[in-house]
Amino acid sequence: MNFTHFLAMSKMAPDDYVGFTFFVGCMAMMAASAFFFLSMNSFDKKWRTSILVSGLITFIAAVHYLYMRDYWAENGKSPTFFRYVDWILTVPLMCVEFYLILKVAGAKKSLMWRMILFSVIMLVTGYIGEVIDRPNAWLWGLISGAAYFVIAYDIWLGRAKKIAVQAGGAVLKAHKALCWFVLVGWVIYPIGYMAGTPGWYESIFGGLNLDVVYNIGDAINKIGFGLVIYSLAVENSK
Ligand SMILES: *C/C=C(C)/C=C/C=C(C)/C=C/C1=C(C)CCCC1(C)C
């Protein structure tokens, strides 16, 4: 960041709610990263990787929020590119988190790769709908939603669920909490998408701002996800 960026920042209007959520989101991601990184070594070795990944997720987001905040301040436009670069790095890492938790109970890498594959399909089709083929945004959103459904199915009812039940105890509890994030927390994103792309749903969600919705979703999902893992580690390191 250089001086002109700061100048752009200083021009932020007091009623710029989008800019405000980028600013607060950025701070929250930085604070969460510091928290996860600094607490890492107080845990049992087998949880350290999970906490590290939680910190990486919020740290990667913090860096992208710096860029997105400035991009918004300078151009007053959605930083769609940085947004999707952030997601394509952090969402697969969230899939890794599921695997790391369930590894103790014998989860195989194939489970992780399957989730990662579907998360990439979900994000790439979402990007196509938002940027490349906007007139057909509804169709790309539908394909993206199908990939999202597969992920939700796997963790709620499919293979991942079975392993979590086998593990029981704190692992099952944490798995369930993460499942709720994917089911309820992630639903925020298609709502933001529908608010920001043309389609039959415009009249329903058109009043919302895509970036505000995405920023709220990111704060809840990235920091919340990490905190679930943090409490699992606390519980299991006693
Ligand atoms: C930290 C970032 C996260 C957890 C991002 C998650 C993003 C999604 C779950 C996006 C999902 C989408 C759909 C299900 C349909 C419309 C297009 C997307 C990409 C917004």
The 10s digit of each residue's pLDDT in 96-155 is 999 999 998 899 999 999 999 999 999 999 999 999 999 999 999 999 999 999 999 999
Q: How confident is the model at residue 44 (pLDDT cuts 50, 70, 90)?
A: confident
Which structural domain range is residue 37 located in? 3-237
Contacts (Cβ under 8 Å, ≥6 apart) of 5: 70, 73, 74
Ligand 1 centre to CA of 186 (Å) is: 6
Ligand 1 centre to CA of 166 (Å) is: 29
Vertex 132: Cα angle to 127 and 92 (nearest 5): 15
What's the number of domains the chain is made of? Answer: 1
CATH number at residue 7: 1.20.1070.10
For the chain, what is the mean pLDDT? 93
Give the burial class of 169: count Cβ atoms within 10 A of its Cβ; 0-12 exposed, 13-18 middle, 19 or more buried: exposed
- Taking residues 2-14, report their average pLDDT: 62
Q: Ligand 1, closest atom to CA 186?
A: 9
- Taking residues 173-201, report their average pLDDT: 94
Q: What share of the chain is helix, strand, coil (3-state, %, to 5)?
A: 85, 0, 15
Ligand 1 centre to CA of 119 (Å) is: 8
Ligand 1 probe mutation, 189, 191, 208, most atoms within 8 A of CB: 189
Ligand 1 centre to CA of 189 (Å) is: 5
Contact 72 CB / ligand 1 (< 6 Å): no
Above 80 in pLDDT, residue 172? yes
Q: The whole model's pTM is what?
A: 0.92
| Measured distance CA(21)–CA(104) in Å, rounded | 38
